[in-house]
Amino acid sequence: MVALREAEQEQFNLSTVQQEIYWDDRPTLVFVSTRGGGKTTAMCLRIRGMILRGEIRPGERIMLCGPDYTSLMDGTVKTFDYWFADMITHRVNGNKPSRILRGGIEVLCRSAMNPDQTRSKECRVVLLDEVAQMPMEMLELASMNLRPTGMRPKNDKRVFQLLMSTTPRGQNWFYRRFGKYVLDQNNDDPDVGGWHMTILEAHRQGVVTDKYLARAMQTYPPGSTKWKQEAEGEFVSWSGLVYRQEYGLIGPANPLPKLVYTAGAVDVGSISPSCILVGGVSERGAIYVFKEFYQPRALLSDLCNNTGEYTREHHIRTWDVDNDLLWKMMRNAGMNAKPPNKTKNAAGFMVEYINDLTARGMYHIDPSCKGLISEKARYEYKDSTSGDEVTFLDTVKPNQDDHALDTERYLVKRLSSWSAAQNYGGTVGFAIR
């Protein structure tokens, strides 16, 4: 039986999933549910149980992460504060919020909007709350943070645990990496525990009230895409996302073919990442993106050197470069570099074209292109539009990472233009010229 405070035992019933998570000591636990399904509570109670059982000891560290600061403080931390009210001895809010629990256990609270703030934080437990809304980099950083401070005692057999809870966010990186554990009702993997709960199941188990269920049915009509995602907890294909997700992944089952034309594109950032993408067109007209450089604070000289190396290695014919100084540097180095087309509606046309290629099975990406795959899986339209939009960029959510997506559009336009020129007078799906 879960150890709750006495005052709460009579008024709070745990769902079967929450009870199972409380006792599960596998290294990775994943809980996908609807809004109001008790995901964050399940993970907070798991952490509370670990402390009560001595699995997290005085002086150790826990980290809580939310997709942005508002979600972190108004959701994750608020739930944590509720369940740990009797253990918290000190609270810090602000830019780097934290909590101190009895015994000097430190709880770091961090936003996925600034992944660098999560580096080198040796933790016994990391919780990624609403993880499907985070970049894949957060999973990588969290995994590397699960390690002891200093030397680990030889007899320390306690688990370092990664906890993840979320509502679905389309078939993005999280679905591709963990969907099988969540959807397999007979999952007995020794390292990963996965659970899934719909709003109807949460209602039957007393987690969701009658009024909440009725409100959800009014908000998300049963049978609609939104109902499937928000109430049934389904990984709908690409609801709300700008880009289709069913592109081909280059690999043993889908090898890179002979390419008849190769090109590259560069988008230059400053503090934000700079991105280089290299791709080509196959004999049947399919497009393959197979090389990526994705790095913040990249020097122009390094970008010039990398593009020169890629030009020699992959016989790149043309570069589209979104930086006046860099494309001149590249031209001086003997490369065929040009500024990209950035006319008013170019972005919208290219999104339609890339989605059309994807739907026809004519678009492929190498798994090593992690920046592109991550941005494509998270790039969303606004939840509602005002009616005043005049270009594609007015209809997408602001302040989203699009460094690789901009580069992708420049690259695919160049490849499309070449393909259109080769097929002039013939029959092609369509191309952007």
Domain segments of the chain as ranges: 14-230, 248-422
Same fold across 14-230 and 248-422: no
Phi, psi of 37 (to 5 degrees): -85, 5
> Is this structure's pTM higher than 0.85?
no
In this structure, are residues 295 and 274 in contact, taking their beta carbons and an 8 Å threshold?
yes
Identify the CATH number of the domain defined by range 14-230.
3.40.50.300
pLDDT per position as a tens digit, 163-187: 999 988 776 778 888 888 888 877 8
pLDDT per position as a tens digit, 329-381: 999 999 999 998 776 677 888 998 999 999 899 999 999 999 999 888 888 88
pLDDT average, residue stretch 4-11: 46
The whole-angstrom separation of Cα 109 and Cα 117 is 10
pLDDT average, residue stretch 110-129: 90
User: Could you tell me the CA-to-CA distances from 367 to 232, 249, 250, 295 in Å, in that order?
Assistant: 30, 6, 7, 17
User: Which of 139-153, 167-181, 221-235, 301-315 shows the lowest per-residue confidence on average (mean pLDDT)?
Assistant: 221-235
pLDDT per position as a tens digit, 286-329: 999 999 999 998 999 999 999 999 999 999 999 999 999 999 99
Give the containing element (helix H, strand E) for 63.
Answer: strand 61-66
pLDDT average, residue stretch 396-420: 89
Tell me, rounded to whole angstroms, the distance of Cα 125 from its chain centroid.
20
pLDDT average, residue stretch 14-18: 87
Neighbour-count burial for 124-151, b at 16+ CB within 10 Å, e otherwise: bbbbbbbbbbbbbbbbebbeebbeeeee
Pick the closest to residue 326 from 334, 337, 313, 314 (CA basis): 337
User: What CATH class is the domain 248-422?
Assistant: alpha beta
Which tokens is 125 given?
Answer: 């437990």
pLDDT value of residue 378: 80
Strands 28-33, 161-166: parallel, antiparallel or unpaired by DSSP?
parallel
In this structure, are residues 192 and 181 in contact, taking their beta carbons and an 8 Å threshold?
yes
